[in-house]
Amino acid sequence: MIDIKLIRENPDLVKENIKKKFQDHKLPLVDEVIELDRKNREVTLKGDNLRSNRNSLSSQIGVLIKNGEKEKAEKVKKQVQDINKELEENEKLEAKYSEEIKARMMKIPNIMDPSVPIGKDDSENVEVQRFGEPKVPSYEVPHHADIITALGGLDKESAGRTSGVGFYYLLGNIARLHEAVLAYARDYMINNGFTYAIPPFMIRSDVVTGVMSFEEMDAMMYKIEGEDLFLIGTSEHSMIGKFKDQIVKKESLPIKMTSYSPCFRKEIGSHGLEERGLYRLHQFEKQEMIVICEPEESMDYYNKMWKLTVDFFRSMNVPVRQLECCSGDLADLKVKSCDVEAWSPRQQKYYEVGSCSTLGDAQARRLGIRCKGEKGNYYLHTLNNTVIASPRGLIAVVENNYNEDGSVTIPEVLRPYMGGLEKIEPVK
């Protein structure tokens, strides 16, 4: 949610930003907010004047009674009562206008960074740079589900019976490798100066609407029936929510945290669920990172954060690239975002394994995350980035370390988490 002052003072900038995101249907919201804001300020001023007048009259009542002027006192009391009735109606208007303004402001996208490339959708995202050589071995690399099944590590048939499409059983050394990747991600982030956390896996609706747009919420979140709780789709939501309505001490900045959680997603949309493999699922696990910092430091942390993910995957022999998200692929709360994509030697293309975003003060403004400065309280900036989401990240490790004999070499950094095991061999 942007500052309403920006809409008052520079509505053309806000409209131009909406156009660059190819959301022209939202253009009327700007003029509606301006008109509602005008009305709201009028009734607010009227309310202030009514309260001032009421206070002035109320102070006269005691003096009049003390002086024996009861008749005048009664007239003044009647005036106060009339003001109270008028004030009650005025306060209803204040609340009405405030709610209508908020409802529209929540739909107006955040102002993008000038460096964001302009494009209609993810097909127009821009490759920035590659890290590691994307190799294609001389032998065939089977579908990841076939590799993992041959290693005795996957049972989707049983998961279909217990839970339906979009779920899985990981077994044996593959299940162990999955957990090794997450444990390594945890220690990797701790060693890079982030505080480790395990957050709540369910959050209230006011936190959900504080961290994401309504469109994202409807497409992603599972609602707990009969309760004001949602299953998290990513732990950044509960991690940012941790600071809701807080005045953060300046000396504690920047706040750098990394969190583990299971994640649950509807996966509604054009991509759909994957019947066979482990790429798009209702349930997965994730190591996340968040930063809450001073506004002037956010872009610096943005660049540090996505590079951490790049180095993490490179340490497991996985070539990756950074892909800049274009304006039409940028979620409404985001200022700038990029994906880290891993190389698939089987498909001979890259696919997303992580996403890094800076949201400016949009989440902080919605959730009331502030810092006390010399000139008063101000909103902080929030950022988030995926370290790894698995099993998707597991696929990248398996494919890029797959051998011709059907075995998978375990990257050296993961071996301490696998009891020293160097290879996972096919099950005979």
Residues 312 and 263 in one domain: yes
Of 302, 201, 198, 212, the C-alpha closest to 254 is 302
Residues 80 and 51 in one domain: yes
Residues 126 and 101 in one domain: no
- Percentage of the residues of the chain whose pLDDT score is greater than 90: 85
Compute the distance between CA of residue 223 and CA of residue 336 in angstroms, rounded to an integer: 29
Residues 249 and 160 in one domain: yes
Q: What pLDDT shows up at residue 184?
A: 98
Q: Are 257 and 289 within 8 A, CB to CB?
A: yes
Domain-terminating residue out of 79, 105, 131: 105
Residues 131 and 195 in one domain: yes
Residues 223 and 333 in one domain: yes
> Could you tell me if residue 115 is inside a domain?
no
Compute the distance between CA of residue 374 and CA of residue 208 in angstroms, rounded to an integer: 31
Peptide bond into 254 cis (omega under 30): yes
Mean pLDDT, the chain, whole residue set = 94
Binning the chain into helix, strand and coil, the percentages to the nearest 5 are 45, 20, 30
Name the residue range of residue 15's domain.
4-105
> Could you tell me if residue 8 is inside a domain?
yes
More confident: 5 or 1: 5
> Could you tell me if residue 28 is inside a domain?
yes
**Phi, psi values for residue 423, rounded to 5°:** -145, 150
Domain-terminating residue out of 74, 105, 136: 105
Residue 59 — pLDDT band, cuts 50, 70, 90?
confident
Q: What pLDDT shows up at residue 364?
A: 97
By DSSP bridging, strand 247-248 and strand 370-373 are parallel
Compute the distance between CA of residue 85 and CA of residue 145 in angstroms, rounded to an integer: 70
The 10s digit of each residue's pLDDT in 123-137 is: 999 999 999 999 999
CB atoms within 10 A of CB 250: 12
Q: What pLDDT shows up at residue 268?
A: 56
Compute the distance between CA of residue 328 and CA of residue 18 in angstroms, rounded to an integer: 10
Of 428, 422, 130, 379, the C-alpha closest to 247 is 379
How many structural domains comprise the chain?
Answer: 2
> Could you tell me if residue 366 is inside a domain?
yes
> Could you tell me if residue 112 is inside a domain?
no
CATH number at residue 261: 3.30.930.10
Mean pLDDT of 324-343: 96
> Could you tell me if residue 116 is inside a domain?
no
Q: Where does 297-399 show beta strands of DSSP type E?
A: 320-324, 336-344, 349-358, 370-373, 376-379, 381-390
Element (H, E) at 291: strand 283-293
Helix (H, G, I), strand (E, B) or coil at 293: strand
By DSSP bridging, strand 247-248 and strand 230-231 are unpaired
> Could you tell me if residue 23 is inside a domain?
yes
Residues 266 and 363 in one domain: yes
Domain-terminating residue out of 50, 72, 105: 105
Contacts of 240 (CB under 8 A, 6+ apart): 210, 211, 290, 292, 363, 367, 369, 382, 384
Residues 183 and 79 in one domain: no
**How far, CA to CA in Å, does 330 sit from each of 8, 80, 136, 213?**
24, 53, 32, 12
The 10s digit of each residue's pLDDT in 222-231 is: 999 999 999 9
Compute the distance between CA of residue 278 and CA of residue 392 in angstroms, rounded to an integer: 6
Residues 201 and 58 in one domain: no
> Could you tell me if residue 373 is inside a domain?
yes
The 10s digit of each residue's pLDDT in 145-203 is: 999 999 999 999 999 999 998 899 999 999 999 999 999 999 999 999 999 999 999 99
The encoded tokens of residue 310 equal 């790049």
**Phi, psi values for residue 256, rounded to 5°:** -125, 115
Residue written as token pair 């920047």: 254
Residues 206 and 284 in one domain: yes
**Phi, psi values for residue 133, rounded to 5°:** -85, 125
The 10s digit of each residue's pLDDT in 271-322 is: 555 567 898 899 999 999 999 999 999 999 999 999 999 999 999 999 999 9
Q: What pLDDT shows up at residue 270?
A: 44
Residue written as token pair 């910092």: 293
CATH number at residue 54: 1.10.287.40
Q: What pLDDT shows up at residue 19?
A: 98
Contacts of 258 (CB under 8 A, 6+ apart): 186, 189, 190, 194, 195, 196, 197, 287, 288, 289, 290, 387
Residues 171 and 81 in one domain: no
Residues 70 and 158 in one domain: no
